[in-house]
Structures are given as C-alpha cells and as structure tokens.
Structure 1
Amino acid sequence: MNLEQLRGFVEIAQTKHFTRAADRLHVAQPSLSRQIATLEADLGVELLHRARGHVALTEAGERLLPIARRMLADADTARDEMSDLSGLRRGRIRLGATPTLCTSLVADVLAEFRDRYPGIDIEIRERGSRSLIAALMAGELDLALIVTSVSSGAARAVLEREPILSERLVVVSDPTRPDPFDRTGDGGSAAGARVAAPVELDELARVPQVVFPENYDLRVTVDAAFRARGLTPLVAVEGAEMDAALSFAGRGIGVAVVPAMVAADHPSLRTAPLADAALARTVSIARRSDMAPTRAGAALQAVIREIADRVTAPGAELSSLVTRVG
C-alpha cells in the first residue's frame, strides 16, 4: 500500500468515477485501475462496487476512506515540516473559517501574513463551524477560526481550542429610513443616522427581520435568546446568506442581526448594538492537539493573535463591541 494508491482511492470516492478521478490526478485511467486493483489485493478486500458509469464504496471502502484521508494529510504535514527548514520561504497552510469571519477578521489576517511570508501558499475553506471541526478531525485543515464550542466528546479529546475574541451582535438597517425601533412615538431616530441606540430583545422581536438559515451558528444563538424570553420574532425573509441579508437590510426589507466586525465593513448601514451584552459570540482558533503545528501554522496563529490585539486595542473603532479574550 502506497500514497499514490491511497490518493487514487480517495479521488475515486469523491468523484464516484474512474475516468474523472484519473483526469483530476493527471494519470491514465488504466493505470489508476491497476493501482486500485493492487491496493485491493494487498488489503485482501474489495473497496469499490463497480457498475457501468458509476462507482460506490463497499463497507471496507467506507472504513478505509477516513484512514486514507488522515494518512494523506499526515504525508502533506511531513512535506510541510521539511519545507520549514527553508525558513518559511515556501510551504503551505490550510485555514478554515466561517463565512462571516472570512469577510472581516480573516481578510486582515491574510493581508498581514502574505506581507510577511509571501512564499507560503494559503488554502482557505469557508464553512460553518461544525463542518470546520469535522475537517480538522479528518486532518483536512491545519487551523480553523470557529465561533461555536466543541461539543462532542471525540472533538474535545482531539481538538485544542484557544478563544481569542468576544464579539457583540448588532442590528443593521437602512439609514435612509427612520429608525425602525421607534422609542419616542414620533418616528424614532432621523433618517441618515449611522449609529442608533442599543436595542432590547423584545423591541427586536416586533420588527420585521431578515434571518439566516436554521443551521447558521448566529441564527441558533439569536433563536435561543428569543425562546428564553418567550418571544416570537417577526420574520420578513428567512434563509438568506450573509451578503443577501446585508443587501436586504440596506433596502429596508427588514433588519438583520450580524456580528459587529461584519457591520463595521458596511458603513452605509445603520448599526445598533443589542442591549444584552451576553448576546455575543466567541471566536476561537482550533487545531488538532495530537499534531504539532508546523512553523507556518505557528506563524499564522501568531498573526491571528496580533490582529485580535489590534482590533480590540483602546481607541480602536470596534473596541466597545469586540473584546480580547484568552
């Protein structure tokens, strides 16, 4: 059994097709077929059900797949470790982050990291926190920036989690219209106001909202807060992704609850913090504790911490809404 055979097996499992897998690996299809046949002979089991135009994993194939992915990831780590000897002049780092962090914190981190280490290639995976945790456990990522706690026992045993920021949630709306949270009975804040007064949860529940899909960590947090208060929010649009939600809020379709760092990147919107300071999310660096970080990974972690310090420094734009933890 060798890495080329495992790489071919993993590619076939992903594409479910020998020819497409061979094309992606830049090998001849007969050569790939021989590799898999040799692998099956070495292991003494059938790994793939072969049908005309379609391939499926056998039970043995299903059990081998996560092992093969880990072995390939370990091989990549070994290559990256050797490249460290060149003093970070070359190498690769695989970073995962949630979509909201990719548009805020991660952009600043990558700009700083590329300035310092232009020879290090960076691969980004943009997913929800739970998907990123699964990718870390499978050895498919070196680091991830997540915004949820590690809940499963298996994850807790394997992952190291370092909280770095606590970020308040804010409400964004169209500043060309009167403040939707009319506290005075005369139409609220004037149109054009960029920053509005803090919003109570019961006030938010009475105003039409643009809400995210149910599997969004942010949606889960806000829904739990409403349930705890016995409130039922008024929904204008449901299932919008972040860019769409911001656009809809800017057109006055409804307000949207977003992280403070995301709102800061959209100065054309009116922003109002949620009055309850507990309605915040914790941003953490996560990595596998059973794998020592490469020098490139350690350097990226250091840059993330520096950017976190910069965002939360006294006098910084977001220092009242984003605080350093850890």
Structure 2
Amino acid sequence: MNLTQRQMQAFLAVARLRHFTRAAEQLHITQAGLSAMMKDLEAQLDCRLFDRTTRSVSLTEEGQQLVPVADRLVTELQAVRDAIHHVSFKARSVLTVGVTPMVAASVMPETAKAFAALHPEVALKVRDIDRQAIQDGVATGAIDVGFGAFFRPASGIERRPIAVFRLMQFSASARASTGKGSARLRKLRWADLGDEPLLALHRANPIQALIDEHLHRVGQGGRARTELENIQTLLAMAEAGLGSAILPSFVRPAARRLALAEHLLVEPEVPVSYYQITRKGKPPAPAVQALAQALQAALGGGPQDASPRQAKA
C-alpha cells in the first residue's frame, strides 16, 4: 500500500465539500486528476469511499470511517513538517526580505530595529530592489518574503494583504520655514485637481495605471506629465515645485522628510492594498508575521493613513 499525504488531503477536501469540482478548485488540480487520485485510493483500500450521482457526492460507510484517520494523519504530518521547517530556519538564522528602494530607505531601519527586539536570533537581510525582482526572488526561493503593491496574482506566489492605504496628492509647500511634516493632512476632491504638470511613474506601472484610471474618470487623463523611474525622484521634483505627484499614502514616511503639502484624494477615496508575498507551497518562516507587523506599524502614519483592516486579494 502506498498512500500519500496528497491523497489524504484530497479525500478530506471531497468529504468536506461533498463536491468534486469545488474540491479540485481548492486543491488547484483538475477534476479529472482528482477523480483519478480517488480511484487509486479506493483501489488501494479495496473499497468504495463515495457514492456519486450527477448531482451529489456522499460518503459511504467506509469513507466515514476513513475521515478521522485521514484527518489525524494529515495533521500529524503537517506538524512534523512545520517542526522540521522551524529547526531549519533556526539553523539558518537569516531571513531575506525584498522591499522596494523607497520603503527600504524610509521605513526599513525602523522596521529592522523593532524586528530585532522581537527576534534577536534572526539576522535580517534586506534586498532593496524593484517589484519584479522581488517577485522573481520569492518565486525561486532566493527571497523568503517580499512586500509591495503586488496587485496581480502570479504563478507560484502566495499573496496576503497586510494593510490598506489611499491615493494622495503631494505638491510643493510653503511650510519649509515652519518645519517639515508640520502641516495637517487635508482632503482634496479629484474634480478639484489643479492644472499643474503631473509627476508620474511610467504608464505600465500598476500603481500609475490605477492613478490614470481615476484621472480619466474626472477628465484629466490628458494633462501634461513628466514620467520618472522611482518614487523618491517624484517626491523631490514635487518639493522643487516642478509639478504634483499622486501616490499611495504608504509613501508618507519618505514624503515627511521633504517640504511637501499632502492631500488625501476623495470623491472617491481610492484604496491601495499593500501585500506580503511568499513562495506558494512553502510555509512562511516563523518570524515572517512579526516582520510584517513591524513593517505595517512603520508604514502607518496616522488615523487617515493605513487601515488595520485587510483588503481582499
């Protein structure tokens, strides 16, 4: 007999959902593949586990007897796997994290300090690279966890939203004489955006695509713009009075270092989810959750900034 953990998980999914199609979707396999797996399981056990009709699936008496056994086997195997992974992680004592350069420069020092207080045994290795390089590194296993505005699902990547931000306008401010960061955050309607040049990321950037969608809705899609490579440059250009930048509120820690006026864009407020990504099928390292919480705390800057709610993926 050669029963596998995968077979036990598949059996439990069908037993719980009473539906082969939904179970196959949950397991990320085809219905034909699931059916073949269950036929092999029944052949090895020499019994029928399900009564199937065109409309329903129910457990046979033998299937009902197998449920608690399969559940215990899967639980125990997962516990052993997690324990082995934990030991392996402790032995490495290195957690490699990928973040964009803007986040690395503005909030990772604070995040790393808070994380070190919680996990002094773990060395944090920060990779300050662009979003695509973060995603590629996570997919290959070179990076343990990545953080960023990963709006689209990707093969081999597990996404989890850790915070929700809003789109804001950043522009030159006269408050340099009163101290950077002293002005209160005000609201500005999309319809009331001025006609000054727009400082923008490249149009193919997912964040910029979201911004452009709303500019088109208020009839400002054709306004003059200067496209730049990174967010730090956009903010510096805005401080110099060369235009205004529309960006998610998670850039506020970087913007506070400059003399910039900040306006929350409303009517509508546009939510922007910020994600944690890990390699699909690989349990996150034990310290990842603590790192995500430290990063979320460092990114959040006030009651009108990051929400503790999780967004839907």
TM-score, structure 2 as length reference? 0.60
Relative distance call for 1:307 and 1:125 in structure 2 (3 A) is closer
CA distance in 1, matches of 2:143, 2:99: 10
Q: Which moved more, 1:247-256 or 1:271-280?
A: 271-280
* Counterpart secondary structure, 2:237: helix
1:225 pairs, out of 201, 208, 214, with 214
CA distance in 1, matches of 2:225, 2:295: 36
Post-superposition Cα deviations, 1:246-297, rounded to whole Å, max 9, x if no partner, equal 111111111111232322443331111111454231011111131123xxx3
1:259 pairs, out of 245, 248, 251, with 248
The answer to whether structure 1 residue 279 and structure 2 residue 270 are counterparts is: yes
CA distance in 1, matches of 2:290, 2:211: 31
Q: Which runs of 5 or more residues in structure 2 are unaligned? A: 1-83, 176-180
Aligned to 2:103: 101
Relative distance call for 1:174 and 1:230 in structure 2 (3 A) is closer
The answer to whether structure 1 residue 301 and structure 2 residue 293 are counterparts is: no
Aligned to 1:112: 114
Alignment of 1:184-195 (within 5 A): 194-195=183-184
Alignment of 1:30-45 (within 5 A): none
Q: Identical aligned pairs, as a percentage?
A: 18
2:193 pairs, out of 197, 200, 204, with 204
Aligned residues: 221
CA distance in 2, matches of 1:277, 1:301: 32
* Counterpart secondary structure, 2:278: strand
Relative distance call for 1:320 and 1:274 in structure 2 (3 A) is same
* Counterpart secondary structure, 2:152: coil
The amino acid across from 1:122 in the alignment is L
1:320 deviation in Å? Answer: 1.4
| Cα RMSD (Å) | 3.1
Is the 8 Å Cα contact of residues 205 and 233 (structure 1) preserved in structure 2?
Answer: no
Is the 8 Å Cα contact of residues 263 and 269 (structure 1) preserved in structure 2?
Answer: no
The amino acid across from 1:246 in the alignment is L
Aligned to 1:76: none
The amino acid across from 2:143 in the alignment is L
* Counterpart secondary structure, 2:127: strand
Aligned to 1:159: 157
CA distance in 2, matches of 1:107, 1:220: 30
1:233 deviation in Å? Answer: 4.4
Relative distance call for 1:100 and 1:215 in structure 2 (3 A) is farther
Structure with greater contact order relative to length (CA < 8 Å, sep ≥ 6)? 2
Aligned to 2:171: 173
The amino acid across from 1:200 in the alignment is R
Aligned to 1:325: 309
Larger Rg: 2
CA distance in 2, matches of 1:221, 1:113: 32
Relative distance call for 1:284 and 1:131 in structure 2 (3 A) is same
TM-score, structure 1 as length reference? 0.58
CA distance in 2, matches of 1:121, 1:273: 37
The amino acid across from 2:302 in the alignment is L
Relative distance call for 1:310 and 1:128 in structure 2 (3 A) is closer
CA distance in 2, matches of 1:174, 1:250: 5
Post-superposition Cα deviations, 1:124-162, rounded to whole Å, max 9, x if no partner, equal 23334344223222222111112123334xx2xx32221
Alignment of 1:48-127 (within 5 A): 82=87, 84-85=89-90, 91-127=93-129
Is the 8 Å Cα contact of residues 210 and 240 (structure 1) preserved in structure 2?
Answer: no
The amino acid across from 1:120 in the alignment is V
Relative distance call for 1:233 and 1:205 in structure 2 (3 A) is farther
Aligned to 1:134: 136
Relative distance call for 1:203 and 1:306 in structure 2 (3 A) is same
Aligned to 1:270: 261
1:115 deviation in Å? Answer: 3.0
Relative distance call for 1:307 and 1:129 in structure 2 (3 A) is closer
Q: Which runs of 5 or more residues in structure 1 are unaligned? A: 1-78, 178-191
1:322 deviation in Å? Answer: 1.2
Post-superposition Cα deviations, 1:23-65, rounded to whole Å, max 9, x if no partner, equal xxxxxxxxxxxxxxxxxxxxxxxxxxxxxxxxxxxxxxxxxxx
Is the 8 Å Cα contact of residues 188 and 265 (structure 2) preserved in structure 1?
Answer: yes
Relative distance call for 1:279 and 1:128 in structure 2 (3 A) is farther
